[in-house]
Amino acid sequence: MTREEVTKPMLKYPKSQRNPNRRCDGISRRDLLQVGSLAAFGLTVGQLTPLDPLRATAAESLVGRAKSCILIWLDGGPSHLETFDPKPSAPVEVRGPLQPISTKIPGVFVSECLPQLAKRMNQVALIRSMTSPLGEHNFGTHYMMTGYKPTPVVEYPTHGSVIAHVR
């Protein structure tokens, strides 16, 4: 595999000619299935390779040792009430239709549609306190992805494009 094949983006999101502020013109069902199957494969890949010899001992510090990070950014994705924050003690009108299930961490619940993840929640860093100084989701997303508040003058690159450029 060549470097160009490795760095070639799997999905392309061209800016719309009709509305330059729109982030994509949509994706095809085939592209969606490709991404979905890759996500499902990513959940099972840990079972395919024995990782025990690679795990750090309890005495070793993980500070400054991370080689990679997986960011799951559900822009326009499922509601937090239906996935990672089901609010089991809230009234039924607030909770939504899905039931909360307990996880490996006492007092932490996830939606009933995430049973495999519930078994592995002790291996997940779940952030429920993320906020933005901007009151609008699209501006907040831009701020989180670039580190800059959106301006009409400058278009900053996202952290992913910076990492791809540096690598």
Helices (H), ranges, the chain: 3-7, 29-48, 92-95, 115-119, 137-146, 159-166
Which tokens sit at 72? 């799951």
pLDDT in tens, the chain (167 residues): 454 544 445 444 444 444 455 455 556 666 666 666 666 555 555 555 454 555 555 445 556 666 777 777 777 777 777 888 888 888 888 877 888 999 999 989 999 999 999 999 999 888 888 788 888 888 888 888 888 888 888 888 877 787 777 77
pLDDT confidence of residue 13: 45
Supply the DSSP symbol for 105. S
Cβ atoms of residues 147 and 141 within 8 Å: no
